[in-house]
Amino acid sequence: MTTLDTPAAQPAAPDERDLALWPASTGKLPGGDLSVGGVPLAAVADRFGTPVYVLDEEEVRARCRLYRHAFPGAEVFYAAKAFLSRAMVHWADEEGLGLDVCSAGELELAVTAGFPPENIVLHGNAKSPQDLDTALRLGVGRIVIDSPSEIARLAAALGPDGRQKVMVRVAPGISAGGHEKIRTGTEDQKFGLAISDGSAQHAIARLLDRRPRLELTGLHCHLGSQIASVKPYATAVRRMVGLMARIRDSHGVTLPELDIGGGHAIAYHPGERALDITALARTVRTALEDGCAAARLPVPRLLVEPGRAVVGPAGIALYRVLAVKRTGEQVFVAVDGGMSDNPRPALYGVRYTPRLVGRRPTAAPRPVTVVGRHCEAGDVLAAGAGLPGDIRPGDLLALPAAGAYHLSMASGYNLVGRPPVVAVTEGHARLLVRRESLADFRTRDVGL
């Protein structure tokens, strides 16, 4: 057994504040384990192995309903890039949400799982011919135009008798988001068309000239991710309404829809601020109504696209500890996953709040660095994490707020294999996505 010396500085022991990051169904069990959806996490790890993603179905559904209630009369589209599976498609559909997809792959999976294509929006800054052809073949509801070249390509793909509803993605010149790599509302990144240089207005004029084959239904913007304040959204609404008024004045066209995207922040650490969805809805609605009244425009139908805020807090990642060692002043706890199943720490510097589950510790907590198994020094899941001083190989660690951008961004690095996804609800666990196996890697490698 490996134990750790007690350091001078000790972080606070896990307490009830930590459970604020967990699904509402989380409960403490005798012996130090936790249950989610009525299922002990240690039992999930024993049955399905580790690493494994656990997803609380009722938490996902409750968050879908939260958006429906907060935005009455609006269309809520779940951003599938956060996490997508056939089960997630059904949950979103049953809870009355549409889908926002970014590729032919996401679109095909959704439609073949039974999701109505007319309730799907296709995004992407560089849509491939396959993306557009698949969208037209399956009858996707809206396609968001992200560059001038897409207009001609889409018109050509439609043919003389085709019809397609489209929106234009606008970069409103607003910097918001938790990291520079996930800020998408400024004019110096790859998404959207700027207002300031006339790019957005030019694309809109071209689309209006191509009616009725391309029906421009409205404008779209997305400011970024992990936005914890409502203020950027109010600013975006005002700028977008101003553009809609100029479109009316220049072309005599009143656009009926406005999509303000998503990017709503969740908490990854105790005390970290999440975006208040009720306050967001109230602020956006006020800004929209006031802006339209001032511009003498009818209030457009509102569209919103949450992803992380729907599935992120519903997920837990479970890992087994493989090794514990001291290097200089650092103590490293290495687990059986890492950057191949969660690249976000390496990409954005994100850090999680791991917790020992499955047994009750006998030593005080101390700061450690939780690292992955991959051949990269940057494969770090949590730095300065407070874990018990008797942490040892074989222990089970759980990372809450792990439902978004884990499986969807997972890779085949070191040919480790992507983890499975297990849904828990009402005391039952079921496999949604199986573990990627060595046989999967061999099957894809077809050449010698």
Sheet architecture: strand order including 27-28? 27-28, 34-36, 39-40
For 316, the enclosing helix (H) or strand (E) is strand 315-327
Question: Is residue 276 classed as helix, strand or coil in its secondary structure?
Answer: coil
Cα–Cα separations (whole angstroms), residue 404 to 78, 266, 311, 316: 12, 10, 6, 10
Rounded to whole angstroms, the Cα distance separating 439 from 147 reads: 41
Question: Is residue 220 classed as helix, strand or coil in its secondary structure?
Answer: strand
Q: Are 23 and 59 in contact (CB under 8 A)?
A: yes
Range list of β-strands (E), 58-213 = 75-79, 98-101, 120-122, 142-145, 164-171, 193-194
Three-state SS letters, 2-16 = CCCCCCCCCCCCCCH
> Does the active-site annotation cover 375?
yes
For 251, the enclosing helix (H) or strand (E) is helix 231-251
Rounded to whole angstroms, the Cα distance separating 341 from 420 reads: 10
Rounded to whole angstroms, the Cα distance separating 402 from 353 reads: 10
Positive or negative, the CA dihedral 155, 158, 162, 165 is: negative
Report the DSSP pairing between strands 421-425 and 39-40: unpaired
Residue 409 DSSP code: G
Burial 208-217 (b: 16+ CB within 10 A, else e): bebeebbebb
Rounded to whole angstroms, the Cα distance separating 318 from 33 reads: 12
Q: Are 213 and 164 in contact (CB under 8 A)?
A: yes
Cβ neighbors of 288 (< 8 A, separation 6 or more) are: 237, 241, 258, 299, 300, 302
At CA 94, angle to CA 88 and CA 95, rounded to 5? 90
Rounded to whole angstroms, the Cα distance separating 208 from 61 reads: 39
Identity of the amino acid at 22:
W
Which residue is associated with the tokens 């018109």? 155
Catalytic entry in 64, 221, 292, 375: 375
Q: Which residues are catalytic?
A: 375
